[in-house]
Amino acid sequence: MTFILCIPTKDYLPVEVKTTNDLAEQILEELEYLKFGKNKLFSTNAISSCIKQACIYYRDAKSVNWRSSGLLYYYSFLNLAKAYLGGKKMVTSTELTTTKILHGITADPLQIITNLMDFEIKIYPPTQNNSINTFSKFYESVTKKRWPFTGNILIQIKEIVGFSYEISREFQSLFNISPCVIPVRSMIIDDGRSMWLDLLIPSSYDTVFQSQIINMPLDKKQFLELSHFEKEQWLLSHAQVTKSYLSDYVLKTHEINYTQDNREKVI
């Protein structure tokens, strides 16, 4: 399926006419069409601004380094959620442009955990202390049910990560997009003279993963083939034993030598 964007009006003339098979891009372009069309859903500047920011954040996320893209994807979805709430009259245009509407979700980056799946996220109720919390309010709007909790709640990554598999299966059924969720752990190794990036991947996924990384030369080694120093870094940082990694491969970038004078620049 393709989508062509061309909506010349007296207020807006597209810079380019685009055709795309990218599902996410089709959705964004449809939202842009609604934003500039005579559709009452997006008739306010506040909602249009949210849509514009969502599109910008998403497209930027696709083009930047993966270390930065996660936050941009988050802000894209946050702005889409705000636009949805505004379109459904769950919040007013004034509320969308003030500090009255909050994210409604926080996390402490300094949590002491030994497994990423135990990382906790705090979610706030739809309204609290005269403020509106976006994500729980979004839940109410989409499900048409009241938020089922009275106060703040804590959830762990392991309690929600399974939903990504369900969504992937829906994509395969509806759009014939094969799902593939690859568990990858990464760490920058620094031995005092050089540094490099290690990616720890289950052996059953390494071929698929490497096929998606075309601009980064990677050397593949089994965990037991690593140097004593490198194995020690992995074991200490994740509080694991060697047995835990016997079925894993490590994909390594080339080592970059540095001096104390240029170390920060290399990082």
Q: Report which of residues 57 and 27 the model is more confident about.
A: 57
Two structure tokens written together for 192 = 């005092």
Domain positions in the chain are 1-98, 100-181, 185-266
What is the gyration radius of the CA atoms in the chain, in angstroms?
Answer: 23
Q: Report which of residues 40 and 129 the model is more confident about.
A: 129
Instruction: Dump pLDDT digits (tens) for 104-141.
Output: 999 988 888 877 778 899 999 999 988 999 999 999 99
Any idea which of 46-50, 169-173, 250-254 has the lowest mean pLDDT?
A: 169-173
Stretch 45-73: mean pLDDT, rounded? 88
Instruction: Dump pLDDT digits (tens) for 192-236.
Output: 888 888 888 888 887 877 777 766 788 888 888 888 888 888 888
CA atoms within a 13 Å half-sphere pointing along the CA-CB vector of 246: 4
The one-letter amino acid code at 249 reads Y
Stretch 167-182: mean pLDDT, rounded? 71
Confidence band (pLDDT; 50, 70, 90) for 35? low
Instruction: Dump pLDDT digits (tens) for 74-86.
Output: 999 999 999 999 9
Measured between alpha carbons, how far is 30 from 23 in angstroms, rounded to an integer? Answer: 11
User: At which residue do the structure tokens 């049910």 appear?
Assistant: 145
pTM, 2 dp? 0.58
Stretch 2-7: mean pLDDT, rounded? 45
Measured between alpha carbons, how far is 174 from 14 in angstroms, rounded to an integer? Answer: 30
Q: What is the mean pLDDT of the chain?
A: 80
Please determine, for residue 90, whether its predicted confidence score (pLDDT) is greater than 70.
yes
User: What stretches of the chain show up as alpha helix (H) in DSSP?
Assistant: 23-36, 45-63, 66-87, 93-96, 134-143, 157-160, 162-175, 206-212, 228-238, 263-266
Element (H, E) at 199: strand 194-202
Instruction: Dump pLDDT digits (tens) for 229-265.
Output: 888 888 887 767 777 777 788 888 888 888 877 777 7
Instruction: Give the distance, in angstroms, between the CA of residue 87 and the centroid of all CA atoms in the same chain.
Output: 24
Q: Is 99 exposed, middle or buried (0-12, 13-18, 19+ CB in 10 A)?
A: exposed
Q: How far is CA 264 from CA 33, 56, 237, 255, 261, in A?
A: 45, 30, 22, 15, 8
